[in-house]
Structure 1
């Protein structure tokens, strides 16, 4: 919940605007005195937008400060609505909130956290979105300063996880030279590391472990808990790295197991006996099979759950017994992450915030060289860039999937929307062989057709079809059949890949087909380099259009028989007449949540 505090009419108006823009997220504190309102918001909300001076806000809140990980994030907005200043909890919501306010109030975000200003991944929230916790948070400020100063830094427990890139002075793996102590999952392991890396050492606890438990009916929580602690200690791993406790579904209501998990803050996951029976384990028991339907509960549940959370798993602690319980521990290898990112038509302000975040979240970026250059300034230091030229789409898609399958955080980039004549299709085709090894996230982008439509007027106001005129992978006979179908169906048609030096006749042929079904005065619009500095937009007619003015950087839109030119703008009517007369209830034209 975001608490909004205001003391002036302007602030109250802005507070109301936020409440309208973010329904369900905002609670207004505008009827109390400023100090009382701030204190009330601090006690009841996760974040605060204060339409007060920074100094006044800080003086009220200073006595209430506890820790940045638990305090509400605070953003101050000036009376002129020019700036949104992240004051408290920058990496815990304030920086993001300051940026969100831009979309509603038009304010400029003011972010002063050093890692954000240098585009370095912040260590206090590193991996937080996938469950990482910091074992030694008292060193965060010291190690964070070392990262920014270029000093050698070791992050332990973060290797082999799909995490954002880090600068070259930060290591997440073992080095060479002197012997030292390395910690992974809380286990202390002797490794070979250079001595200089140990002066600045931060330890993370990744959610990499699953504890499997079996028990007799009526087992106590104390017995289960003591056994779990014994097994974890024997494996030299940390309870903070346990992701879940797993058991057979026959024990889903076993009070002792449930209480032991609750006391440790762990989720409980259960599986049918027939599923666990198919898991190969080192210590099966026919006695257990006869009783619950599977030869293993603890080992099988730990392994099966770990595999469901990751791309593979290994048993690091085999079954241990107490009088009435068994326990085992499995470690998972995390799934890689593939974000397929649409960069939009080219202008930076048409690149979505979600796309920017996906780029900063990646440690590997794969894309066409000119698209990589377009966003290079957004990539974090240490990002590995795998770029290639035109005509190598299949190689880029395959490379991105392979990198993600190896456990990395990968962004595969393309212009417009990556799912429209772009990289999403080949990447997902290659990814079918990696089901279970990667998580795929599609990040939508503004398409060239939408950008061109906005410049031309409203050509896509009614039903329309997208058709690519490239016959490199699709036979012309198929393309021609699709153009004829769109012509006969009276669709507005948007042509991608309309004309190149080697393909100079297809657009003319397509226009002639449409002319058989359209009036000569049907509007035709074409936009070259939409949203870029050298963009051009032209509205003409089907009778007058010159295909020679079009190239591969151009999107061509041809209207339906009902499209027309209005004050120089290309418009396709929506297909009905507005009526202001009262009529019987009908389906709304713009249902809530609809997207066009």
Structure 2
């Protein structure tokens, strides 16, 4: 899910206000292609389908268009109000800003922000917001409502004139426009205790508890979680109030710690030994054994105390299981994204952006890039991301600096950052994913990675490779067995490459040649052509695919015998068909390449019995 708003416009008249909103909100301007001549971040051809895609992806939308049109287009996709993203309609002149959906998911606040920006009127219609300026069913970050099923009735009672009694401390409730009194009929209870929800009111839990977790290397996640739940139960505290899980930094990659954090749906943060050691005077159970092992006198208690700060308290001393420890601290304020202490476990996301165009970039890759703090990659690849780079720290590298690029990305992640290592095509096909794991595998020694970089989380997301893109543009040349071979001898000895080309030729594989030529390397492709001509006809179709998915895209089909090295550059992928590959022309005069798999020879297929198409094997 992308959290930056999509600002939807249908005409150039709406472009000035859309750009103002985009600058203020960090959003993207999406324009209807047939009506927009100026450059926008994203174009679309069908209004209904584009709005539906954004909505179902959970993306906030600011539609500079008629509210009724937005309602009609999204109506078929409405289901659960609790999961709907904000949807706002804005008049082209900015006079009216109407939150249509997701009012309690930020739409009302966003509408007010936009109205202030464009000097318009925010038409807020939800009853609680209008009368009291607050949405009781959507507490602010750092709080959770334990009994949301009561919210509708409670709000109706308050709107009808009943007063509320606040029990516990909740500044956001005390400072609201709610009718509060000491003898109010409606109870609003704020507590981190495991208490029963009031029958005639609402129970709010502040996310102010922190679990300090220590464990042996490789301890089971279920054991650590059971210990944490037992500690909360013994102390009478609500699991819903757990807002943070903490430990020492050497446990940043410990699965048990992250298992506990995942269960409670909260972040995990880590501190170095020196920081934990400062808390020794406040520890209930300091240990010389722990100090000798990790450099501080207590992990679970120390981590809990550091997280809650000097104004916080340790409310549950260290408890032990066979391989884990747990202590609980209470912070003076709930934990939010703005006040998280310590360092997160860094994350490295190795992403393949395909050829670079938006349409060929997977939603998962776009999401990873959107959630990253830093982008690392070859400058051209980062440029291809367009508006996705907004607000990110860019770390640009030239070609030929691959190891430096990957090492830098891993070290940044080791600092607790969320890093996207950007590759063209697929990240695992002649790209940087392999080097990431190679550096991890050889990380020992003075030239190795830092300890922090070795503890990072790693995720690899696929992209459309140049091989797939070329095949799709030219037809279906990969319909049968194929292989890929890089003709670059920079990292692979030429003799090895020759052996692979020879074997592929003898095996009659369709072959995709990556790195076919360079400015200094002009002979390898010619050698490969001549070798393949020993095994397949000179008429074998060859696809030359240049600038795939980008401006200047060029697809050419030539016979193998006429393949000219001078027609190929560094941005070209060469796909050589097998002896069975052939071409077919369609009525529009376009030639296509395909490699038959043999369906037409099988009894019962579409070619044998019209209307009885069958699919077998893995071709579905």
TM-score, normalising length: structure 2: 0.50
Q: Which residue of 2 aligns with 1:257?
A: 233
Residue 520 of structure 1 and its aligned partner are, at CA, apart by: 2.3
Q: 2:604 aligns to what?
A: 580
Q: Deviations over 1:183-219 (max 9, x none)?
A: xxxxxxxxxxxxxxxxxxxxxxxxxxxxxxxxxxxxx
Change (3 A) 1:72 1:545: closer
1:542 deviates by: 1.8
After the TM superposition, which residues 277-296 of structure 1 pair with which residues of structure 2 at under 5 Å, given as runs? Answer: none
SS in 1 for 2:604: coil
Q: Which residue of 1 aligns with 2:402?
A: 393
1:517 to 2:545 alignment: no
Give secondary structure in 1 for the equivalent of 2:410.
helix
How much has 1:258 moved relative to structure 2? 6.8
CA distance in 1, matches of 2:413, 2:428: 18
**Whole-Å separation in 2 of the counterparts to 1:71 and 1:321:** 36
Structure 2 residue matching 1:134: 3-state secondary structure: coil
Tell me which residue corresponds to 1:338.
348
Task: Give SS of 2:570's match.
Answer: coil
> Deviation of residue 135 (structure 1)?
4.8
Greater relative contact order (Cα < 8 A, sep 6+): 1
Aligned to 2:366: 356
1:396-435 correspondence runs (5 A): 396-431=405-440, 433=449
What residue in structure 2 maps to residue 134 of structure 1?
Answer: 141
- The aligned counterpart of 1:559 is 577
| SS of corresponding position for 1:477 | helix
Distance 2:552 2:112 in 1: 35
**Structure 1 residues 313 and 320, CA gap change in structure 2 (3 angstroms):** closer
Once the two structures are TM-superposed, the CA of residue 533 in structure 1 deviates from its matched residue by 2.4
State yes or no: 1:532 paired with 2:550: yes
2:209–2:241: 8 Å Cα contact kept in structure 1?
A: no
CA drift at 1:393: 1.6
Distance 1:71 1:420, change over 3 A: closer
Superposed, 1:77-476 pairs within 5 Å as 87-89=100-102, 134-135=141-142, 240-242=207-209, 244=211, 254=230, 257=233, 260-262=236-238, 264-266=240-242, 327-329=327-329, 333-381=343-391, 383-431=392-440, 433=449, 437-476=455-494
Q: 1:267-325: CA deviations, max 9, x gaps?
A: 999979xxxxxx999779799x9xxxxxxxx955567999xxxxx99999997778999
CA change 1:363–1:566 in 2 (3 A) is: same
Q: Per-residue deviation at 1:89? A: 2.4
Following the alignment from structure 2 to structure 1, what is the Cα–Cα distance between the partners of residues 517 and 524? 7
Q: What is the SS of the residue equivalent to 1:339?
A: strand
Matched positions, count: 389
How far apart, in 2, do the equivalents of 1:491 and 1:498 lie?
17
Quote how far apart the aligned CAs of 1:413 are.
1.2
| Structure 1: distance between partners of 2:106 and 2:602 | 44
CA 1:133–1:357 in 2, change beyond 3 Å: closer, same or farther?
farther
Question: How far apart are residue 555 of structure 1 and its match?
Answer: 0.5
Equivalent in the alignment of 1:487: 505
Going from structure 1 to structure 2, the CA distance change for 1:70 and 1:484 (only over 3 Å counts) comes to: same
> In the TM superposition, what whole-angstrom CA distance separates every residue of 1:38-93 from its partner, at most 9, and x where no partner exists?
xxxxxxx999xxxxx9459989x9xxxxxx9957447699xxxxxxx993228959
Structure 1 position 243, deviation (Å): 5.8
Verify the 8 A CA contact 2:319 2:327 in the aligned structure 1.
no
Structure 1, unaligned runs of 5 or more: 1-13, 27-44, 48-52, 62-67, 78-84, 95-110, 119-131, 138-223, 227-237, 273-278, 290-297, 307-311
Are 1:589 and 2:617 counterparts?
A: yes
Q: 1:517 to 1:46 in 2, by over 3 A?
A: closer
2:561 counterpart SS class: coil
| SS of match in other structure, 2:236 | helix
Q: How does 1:47-62 map to 2 (within 5 A)?
A: 54-55=67-68
Deviation at 1:452, TM superposition (A): 1.0
**Partner in structure 2 of residue 571 of structure 1:** 594
Q: Can you give the 5+ residue segments of structure 2 that lack an aligned partner in the other structure?
A: 1-45, 61-65, 75-79, 90-97, 119-138, 145-191, 195-204, 215-222, 246-254, 258-272, 290-296, 321-325, 331-340, 442-448, 586-590
1:194-250 Cα shifts (integer Å, max 9, x gaps):
xxxxxxxxxxxxxxxxxxxxxxxxxxxxxx969xxxxxxxxxxx9625465759668
Residue 376 to residue 74, structure 1, CA distance change in 2 (3 Å): closer
Q: 1:303 to 1:54 in 2, by over 3 A?
A: same
Distance 1:531 1:56 in 2: 33
Could you tell me whether the CA contact under 8 Å between 1:315 and 1:329 is conserved in 2?
Answer: no
* Pair 1:114–1:486, CA change in 2 (3 A): farther
| Correspondences of 1:491-506 after superposition (within 5 Å) | 491-506=509-524
* Kept in 2: contact 1:498–1:552 (CA 8 A): yes
Does the residue aligned with 2:385 lie in a helix, a strand or coil? helix
* Cα distance, 1:399–1:564 mapped onto 2, change above 3 Å: same
RMSD of the TM alignment (CA)?
A: 5.6
Superimposed CA distance per residue, residues 385-423 of structure 1 (whole angstroms, 9 cap, x where no aligned partner): 111222112211111111111111212212112221122
